[in-house]
Chains A and B, each alone.
Chain A
Amino acid sequence: MKKAVFLAGILLLAVWLSGCVQQQPPSAPSITPGNVTAPSNVTAGNVSAELLSPEEAEAIEALLNETQSLAEELEEPQVDWNISVE
């Protein structure tokens, strides 16, 4: 009985770990200078992603595009309120 409970726990842990890997939200990870620890086996291949992940690049580029025209987009409408026949 104890063994069965223990095995069930291990199984749940495995499912949980695989779920964590798969269910990462696509939003850009929070960037703090402290969270960059250089691995001892740094390679050219992984350095790009380490310094700028595709999600971060996407988020920044999207906001740069958005802010480019936002002021014009939120320009107030020009309405002529003078509605008179005189």
Chain B
Amino acid sequence: MRRELLALVITGVFLLSFLGSASAFSLRELGEAIQQKYQEIKQKYLNASNFYQEVRQKWLQARETYQQIKNETNREEALEWARKVAGAGINITITYLEKVIAKVNATTALTEEQRSAIISELQLRIEWLRNRTQEIPQANLSEISNITHKIRNYWQNHRVAVKRHVGKILSVKINWLIQKIENLTERAEAKIEELKANGTNTSELEALLDDLNEKLDLAKEKYEAAKEKFENITTLEEANQLFREGRDFIREAHQYLVQAFQQFKQLVKEIKEVLAG
């Protein structure tokens, strides 16, 4: 009876572990699919950007021609390119928002709640822009001018939030790196302590470790400064400047992290050499 029970328990554990493995595998596949989706949208954005630049040139030429000779043919030509450039402008803005959504989805360092809140907000902007697209084909030159004026005002009001979200993505990624490298450093520190307890001279290793910790502290300092800048993006007037400043702090934090990780790898190499004797 006890053996039957044991076999039953083992079978149960086996089945549960199989389900666990299957779900871990699905999660991995899901992660790859999300990254793939981002790459696709990135390409789509690049295409939209190139198309916008081409169409804008044609529009500027058509407008100039019409301004020089105001006849019906030139007006029709200008109208055609005005519709196209307005459509291309909306399209690139929508694709940009889709790219941010894809990046938010691929940022596992954000909580599920944070991801959902940002995505819902950005989807509302996309929806609003899509509705404007539908107004373009029937619009005349004056109406197109009104529609795009409305879009410009709308975008000016909402790009503040978009910048704040992009800042958030950058911050959480840098923070993830800080945490990871910090944890690795703690591991190395434990190993050095162990060597020291065994009577090994660890002064060179400790010097390397100190240097590494200094880089990590600087990265943290820059990360905190960047986070503060991004969180303070609340008005249109300050949005660009605060974003630029935050981005510069992120760049500095990134540089310190690159150096810290290189030093960590060097530390591992030297610990290995000490052990090899």
Contact = CB atoms under 8 A, between A and B. Distances in A.
A81 B52 CA distance: 12
B119 interface: no
A76 B180 contact: no
A12 to B, nearest CB: 5
A80 to B, nearest CB: 7
B23 to A, nearest CB: 10
Contact of B191 (A36, A56, A68, A73): A36
A86 B148 CA distance: 14
Nearest to B81: A83
Tell me the interface secondary structure of chain A in the complex: helix
Interface residues of A, number: 55
Contacts of A61: 261
Contact of A81 (B24, B152, B250, B271): B152
A85 B173 CA distance: 45
Contact of B96 (A25, A27, A77, A81): A77
B254 A43 contact: no
Interface of A: 2-3, 5-6, 8-10, 12-13, 15-16, 19-20, 23, 25-28, 31-33, 36, 38, 42-44, 47-48, 50-52, 56-57, 59-61, 63-64, 66-68, 70-71, 73-74, 76-77, 79-86
Q: Which 10 A-B pairs have the closest CB atoms?
A: A9-B7, A81-B152, A33-B186, A31-B183, A44-B276, A44-B275, A9-B10, A84-B145, A16-B14, A79-B89
